[in-house]
Chain A
Amino acid sequence: MKTKTYIPTRVGLGKLLGFHSAGWLVAELCIITMLSWFFIDNLAVYFYDRYLTGDITPFETHHLVVGRMEVDRTDAGQEQNRDVEVTQDADQAALDDIRNRLLALPEVESVCYADDYVFAQLDRYHWTTWADAYNTKEHRAGAYSIHLYLDEPFFETHGIEVMRAKQSAQSAQSSPSAQSSQSSPDDEDITSNAGQVYISRCMARSIFGSEEAALGKKLVWLDVDYADRPDGSTPAAEEVRGTYTVAGVTADVKASPEERNSLVVFVQEMLHPMLTSHILIRLKPDADAKDFVKRTSQNLYDNFNSGRSFIQELETYDQHISNQSSRTSLQIENQLFLLILAIFGVNALLGVVGTFWMQLRRRREEIGIMRSFGATRWRILRKMVGEGVLLYTVSFILADIIYLQIVLSTGMVSDRNMGQLIGEASWIEQFWPHFAIVSAVVYLLILLLVCIGVLIPTLHAIRVNIVDALHED
């Protein structure tokens, strides 16, 4: 009986193990590429929105301080016996007293009480729908609403540029009681709820076509009801909640640093002393905000309390943004994605290092031969890195084709932007550019990792003594 004799050769064995382990590595890199695609996509969109779509804050922030106002309710038991009007006047006087004390400080340029301000609460901002009063169907946009008080120097303290409408609008802003008398015979839809708003440039262009065209125009706040009914109908009814006049157009500010478009509406309202929650303080250019906060906070309650009101805490605006930003759900999600990518990255790196280390151990003789024939270390390094690049490119092509099938059926879910502009679409909103760009990012990032993984064992292997390598058995 003829038997088959298998005579293994070192080269054959090495090749077999080499192919075997390379196959595992291709599979691993393929899986990692596919999984990473989703996370890198979300991070890429975030990065673009945050850093490449204009200034986060178009106003100077290093000399801005924000504070939280509180009400001392330790004598709240007496509250019910108070005369409401007397109480309100006293509370207003208390706020004015605190403001004057702040203005008396040499570093302070301007003080403003505010219910809300840019980036006041990053994780809880909500969107409302606004439209041109005369064309609510076509000229509309979602926007973030910031509420500011009448008679308060909100824009000046914030440092936001504003182009105001005609003088009558300015007078209306400065005199709340005069506001209701501003209605002209043409403004028959102005009700007691009508007021004035300031909108961002982006909002003005989106709804009215240009900033100048927006001034003095009527804007309506729409309440859209998307609730399902028990019978399965979805009326999505719309109701006009208020009609406003555009009193001015501001510089583009965003609802949050991650928003792509600057769709913001500043709504004016009456100041209610007991509901005043925040205070903004603009310092002079030569003042140090951190130092100001530190010194002022030492006796904050003692120095800045009046009546029932007091300043509970102060922080610099930059500190405020930093604290807020680190705790938003988007940031948490991004941190989670980075953690997951780090785990994948470590695994990929270890896989590449391990596979190439084993391969290079087996190829020491080959390396020795190459070195003895004059190959430089750099040439061997290039060869090994080239093999790694080839290996990963094969994995990437496989993974990308598979992932493309997935996103073609499920769509891409990385775009969580709230404000969408009418008629414009960035690369994020277009499928093929989005897929191509993110694929390129994924390829480059993981390729970098693979190259590092190949370099580590290769640098070790090419230092081998030629004689020792040739004697390798």
Chain B
Amino acid sequence: MNRTTFSLKVFYLLGTAVAVSTALLVAFVIHVMVGKIYPEMHRDRTVYVTGRFYSGDFNAEAFGGGYSKRAIEDVFSRLDCVEVATGVSMMHVVGSLNPASAAVGKRTVDVRPICTDTAFFRMYELEWIDGRAFTHQQFEDGADCVVITDQLARQLFDGETRVAGRTVLLGYKPFRITGVVRAGSNMLPQSSADIYVPYTNKDAFSMGSLHGFPYAGYMEVRCLLKEGCTRQTLLDQLAPYRAAYISEQTPASSGKVDWVIRARSHYFFALSFFDADNETTADYLNQLWIPALIILLLLLLPAINMSALVSGMMEGRLAELGVRKAFGATNRTLLRQVLTQNLWFTCLGGILGLLLCYGLLKLLSTSTLFITIFTQSATSSSLNITPDMLWNWPMLIITFVCCALLNLMAAFIPVWHSLKRPLVEAMNQKQ
């Protein structure tokens, strides 16, 4: 191999690595949004439900489109297809529960709260380090109790994590720690928080039903469906409750009464590039075409650059191909051979690209841009990227597909063009 060909191959390898790593960044973002990652291990069975209530001229959607505690207990928890139904407050309660500190005057930490109920801890498989969740009675009483993460515990209590039973100040008000959980990645905003507080707690701005709308409130309902049940099953089972609600409310109202239910499975909730009322198979694919297009563009541009490199590399092989053609090899055979050889080389670049992607993610984990994209808050100083987010089968398969695509786009046309050369000319090429 002469020096020129070696240089070309090195550039090709590096070009492949860079192209694959940028494409994998996009794939990684999508995987984090929809894949199974601790503690959200049942995303395929998770449905998010919001609602709008109308009564005459009044529209309760303006209050957030959520549900009340009564709706969660009387309706969602009683559905046959629902294994667990939990409510999570949609109110921005960050201010009143911030900052967290072990005592007044001591170090303070800005925290992200999730205000929820006891069912939350059955829905998400949080790992308990110490203690347990707040009890149903504590929830009903709106007690000043909290579950915190091990990361927060270490920050507030000098490295200790077994702090169940102790007191922490949230917004300078004392809360009793009932349990400590292993922190999930802050890239999963639905389940990731620093503190978990009962939404009935008055500092969590818990609200009962809105006047005149018994089921309207400030909670987003999340349902973990039983195996075999679908979003449509959920909607079908909600139908009689809806009918009963409308018939009960109609006599009292001066105008039309309605309860519009919006249920989205996690996939559509997370991606939401396009509205998909029925969530058909076509809708599933539709949500992916924007990230797919971005990945394609991120591969296409380097592929155009690398096709020039492949042209250069092919120059050195013209004589070889010419001899093989003289011995009866067809263009198709040679094309397949060269592309396959190139694919192995591209896969090597792809592996480098995967490693480079991981390095880039580590680097970007402290970037304000990436932090805010994922966490939507200013309280995190870095993204918590766990190995299982990157080293899993979907990511490896996507890496291979990227390599194959890149190989095809970069090499096909230059190789085909080279094979079209007349036999004599090819054999006369000096290596």
- Where the two chains meet, the residues of A that have a C-beta atom closer than 8 Å to any C-beta of B are 6, 8, 17, 20-21, 24-25, 27-28, 31-32, 35, 70-74, 76, 227, 229-231, 301-302, 312-313, 326-327, 329, 332, 335-336, 339, 343-344, 346-347, 350-351, 354-355, 358
Contacts and interface: CB of A to CB of B under 8 A. Distances in A.
Contacts of B54: 229-230
B59 A227 contact: yes
A224 to B, nearest CB: 13
B308 A327 contact: no
Nearest to B294: A340
A373 to B, nearest CB: 28
A18 B265 CA distance: 53
A17 B378 CA distance: 53
Interface string B278-307: 000000000000000000011011101101
Contacts of B171: 70, 73
B417 interface: yes
A33 B150 CA distance: 49
Given A6-B422, A229-B57, A230-B260, 15 more contacts: A8-B425, A21-B308, A21-B311, A24-B308, A28-B305, A31-B300, A70-B171, A70-B172, A230-B258, A312-B108, A332-B372, A332-B373, A351-B301, A351-B305, A354-B308
A261 B425 CA distance: 69
A358 B305 CA distance: 11
A73 B308 contact: no
Contact of A327 (B18, B297, B372): B372
Interface in B37-94: 54, 57, 59, 61-62
A39 B308 CA distance: 28
A24 B312 CA distance: 14
Contacts of A332: 368-369, 372-373
B173 A347 contact: no
A355 B308 contact: yes
Interface string B2-25: 000000000100010010001000
A76 B173 contact: yes
B368 A350 contact: no
Contact of B378 (A8, A230, A327, A343): A327
B169 interface: yes
Contact of A347 (B59, B61, B302, B417): B302
Nearest to B22: A343
Contacts of B61: 227
A114 to B, nearest CB: 16
Contacts of B373: 332, 336
Contact of B298 (A21, A73, A343): A343
Given A24-B307, A230-B54, A332-B373, A327 B368 contact: yes
A198 to B, nearest CB: 26
Contacts, number: 88
Contacts of B258: 230
A355 B305 CA distance: 8
A227 B108 CA distance: 41
23 contacts: A6-B422, A6-B425, A17-B311, A20-B417, A24-B304, A24-B308, A31-B297, A32-B301, A74-B173, A227-B59, A230-B258, A230-B260, A313-B108, A332-B368, A332-B369, A332-B372, A335-B369, A336-B369, A339-B369, A346-B18, A351-B305, A358-B311, A358-B312
B391 to A, nearest CB: 24
A336 B26 CA distance: 13
Contacts of A17: 311
Contacts of A351: 301, 304-305, 308
B127 to A, nearest CB: 31
Contacts of B36: none
Interface string B124-145: 0000000000000000000000
A227 B59 CA distance: 8
B59 A229 contact: yes
Interface string B308-346: 110110000000000000000000000000000000000
A347 B305 contact: yes
**Chain B binding surface SS class:** helix
B105 interface: yes
A326 B369 CA distance: 9
Contact of B301 (A8, A73, A227, A347): A347
B265 to A, nearest CB: 25
B104 interface: yes
A28 B304 CA distance: 7
Nearest to B300: A31
B169 A74 contact: yes
B166 interface: no
Interface string B92-113: 0000000100001100100000
B104 A72 contact: yes
Nearest to B430: A473
A167 B34 CA distance: 63
A227 B172 CA distance: 39
Contacts of A73: 171-173
Nearest to A339: B369
A312 B100 CA distance: 12
B189 interface: no
A406 B313 CA distance: 39
A327 B378 CA distance: 7
Contacts of B425: 6, 8
A55 B428 CA distance: 71
B173 A312 contact: no
Nearest to A352: B305
Contacts of B300: 31
Contacts of A347: 301-302, 305
Nearest to A349: B305
B256 interface: yes
Nearest to B414: A20
Contacts of B311: 17, 20-21, 358
A247 to B, nearest CB: 30
B174 interface: yes
Interface string B167-198: 00101111000000000000000000000000
A313 B312 CA distance: 63
Contacts of A355: 308
A229 B169 CA distance: 44
Contacts of A313: 108
B256 A74 contact: no
Interface in B242-262: 256, 258, 260
